[in-house]
Structure 1
Amino acid sequence: MDLFASDLDNTLIYSYKRDIGTDTVCAEVYEGRQVSFMTKRSRELLEKVNQTMHFVPVTTRSVQQYQRICFGDTWSPHLALAANGGVLLRDGVSDPDWYKASCDLIAPAEPALQQAEDVLEHDPNRTLDVRRVDGLFVFTKSADVPHTLARLRDALDLTHVELFENGVKVYVVPRMLNKGTGVRRLRERFPEARVFAAGDSLFDLPLLAAADTAFCPDALDYTGQPGQTVVTVSPQDGIFSDVVLDRLTANSR
C-alpha cells in the first residue's frame, strides 16, 4: 500500500477561527471546548483514503496534542509522526527505537537548544513558559516575535538548529528534526510504497520534498524536486483538505 503523509493543522483540520463553512464536524476538544474542525466531506474522504493507503499524520504537535484529535468515530491511524517526525506512534504508543534514533540524530543540537531555553527564559516578550516538546525541540510564545527571534539569532550558533515562527509561536528546532527526515525514515519500512504528501506551511517543505507527489497551496510557492509531481491548490478550487482528498480518492480508484 502507498503512504499518504499529511500535515494536520490548516491542511486536514482547521481552527475554530477559520471559516470552512457550516458543514463541519469537530476534530479536537481541549479543556471542554471544540477547537478544531474538519469538513464533513474531508472526514468521509479521509476514511476512504485510509482504506486504500497508509494514512500517516505528520505533525509538529506534541504527542499529547496529537492524541486530542479525532479523525473518525470507528477508526484512527495506525501510524503517526508527532513532534516534527521525532516520535513514531504505533496505535498511539511511542516506538522506543524510533525515539532513541531521533535523540541520536539531534544530539549535536543539544547545546544550542539549552542556550535557546536560557535566552527565552529571560526574554521580556515571552508570554508562555518555555517548553521542550517531547524532549526534542524548544517552543514558546511571544508578544513581539521579531524581537524574540532577533535575540535568538544574536545568541545562538545556528549550525544545528533552525528558527521558525507561526503567529505568536516561536520554535527552535534541530535541523535534523524535520518532517521530511521523518518520512524518509518511514519509507525505509515501506520500500515499495509511493508517498503522497500534503502540507501548507514552511514546516512542511521538507515533508513535501520527501514525497513522490506533493499537494500544497499555490501561495506556498513550492516548486518541487526533480521527477516529483506537484499539485497546487488555489482558494478558488475549494477547501484545501477537500480538494486534496478528492484527488487522492480519484487516484486510488
Structure 2
Amino acid sequence: MDLFASDLDNTLIYSYKRDIGTDTVCAEVYEGRQVSFMTKRSRELLEKVNQTMHFVPVTTRSVQQYERIRFGDTWSPRLALAANGGVLLRDGVSDPDWYKASCDLIAPAEPALQQAEAVLEHDPNRTLDVRRVDGLFVFTKSADVPRTLACLRDALDLTHVELFENGVKVYVVPRVLNKGTGVRRLREWFPEARVFAAGDSLFDLPLLAAADTAFCPDALDYTGQPGQTVVTVSPQDGIFSDVVLGRLTANIDG
C-alpha cells in the first residue's frame, strides 16, 4: 500500500482567518472556538485516500496541537509524524523507540538549542514564553522577527541548527530534524510503497524531496529531484487541498 505523507496547516486544513468558501467543516476546536476548517470536498476525498493508502500527517505541530485535529467522524490516521517528524504516533500513541532515535539524532544540536533558549528568554521583542516543543526544538513568537533572528544568528553556532520564521513565529530546529528525514525513516517500514507528498511552505521542502510524487503550490518554486514527479497547483486551479486530493484520487482510480 502506498503512502500519502502530507503537511496539515494550509495544505489540508485552514485557519478560520483564511477564506476557503462556505462549504466547510470544522477540523479543530481550541478553547471552545472553531479555529481550523477543511472544505467538505477535501474531507470526503481524504477519507477515500485513507481507505486506499496509508495517510500520514506530517506536521511541525506538537503532539498536543496535533491531537486537536479531527479528519473525520469515524476514523483517524493510524500513523502520524508530529514535531517535524521527531514523534511517531501509532494509533494516537507515541512510539518510544522512534522518539529515542529522534533524541539521539538531534543530540549534537543540544548546546545550540540551550543557547537559543537563553537568548530568547532575554529578547525584549519576545511575545510568548520560550517553548521546547516535545523536547525537540525551540519555538516562540516575536514582535520584531527580523531583529530576533539577527540576535540568534549573532549568538548561535548554526552548524547543527537552523532558523525558521512563519509570520510572528520563530523556530530553532536541529538540521537533522525535518519532515523529509521523518518520511525517509518511515519509508523503511514500507520499502515497496510509492510515496506521495503535499506541502506548502519552506518547512515542507524536505518532505517534498523525500517523495516519489510531490504536490505543492507554484509559488513555492520547488523544482524537484531527479526522477521525481512534481505537480504544481496555482490559485486559479482552486483550493489547494481540493486540487491535490482530487488529483490523488484520480491517480488511485486510474
TM-score over 0.5 for the pair: yes
User: Partners of 2:125 and 2:115 in 1: how far apart?
Assistant: 17
Length-normalised TM-score, structure 1: 1.00
Cα offset, 1:10, TM superposition: 0.1
SS in 1 for 2:76: coil
User: Partners of 2:167 and 2:31 in 1: how far apart?
Assistant: 22
User: Partners of 2:91 and 2:165 in 1: how far apart?
Assistant: 30
User: Partners of 1:103 and 1:29 in 2: how far apart?
Assistant: 30
Cα offset, 1:123, TM superposition: 0.1
Match of 1:158 in 2: 158
User: Partners of 1:37 and 1:167 in 2: how far apart?
Assistant: 20
Cα offset, 1:247, TM superposition: 0.4
Cα offset, 1:102, TM superposition: 0.2
Deviations 1:8-50 (A, max 9, x none): 0000000000000000000000000000000000000000000
Cα offset, 1:225, TM superposition: 0.1
SS in 1 for 2:126: coil
User: Partners of 1:106 and 1:176 in 2: how far apart?
Assistant: 7
Q: Which residues in structure 2 correspond to 1:1-253 (within 5 Å)?
A: 1-251=1-251, 252-253=253-254
Cα offset, 1:83, TM superposition: 0.1
Deviations 1:68-92 (A, max 9, x none): 0000000000000000000000011
Cα offset, 1:120, TM superposition: 0.1
Equivalent residues, number? 253
| Structure 2: 5+ residue stretches without partners | none
Aligned sequence identity (%)? 96
User: Partners of 2:20 and 2:104 in 1: how far apart?
Assistant: 41
Cα offset, 1:137, TM superposition: 0.1
Deviations 1:183-212 (A, max 9, x none): 000000000000000000000000000000
Q: Which 4+ residue blocks in structure 1 deviate beyond 6 angstroms?
A: none
Deviations 1:99-144 (A, max 9, x none): 0000000000000000000000000000000000000000000000
Length-normalised TM-score, structure 2: 0.99
Deviations 1:205-245 (A, max 9, x none): 00000000000000000000000000000000000000000
SS in 2 for 1:72: coil
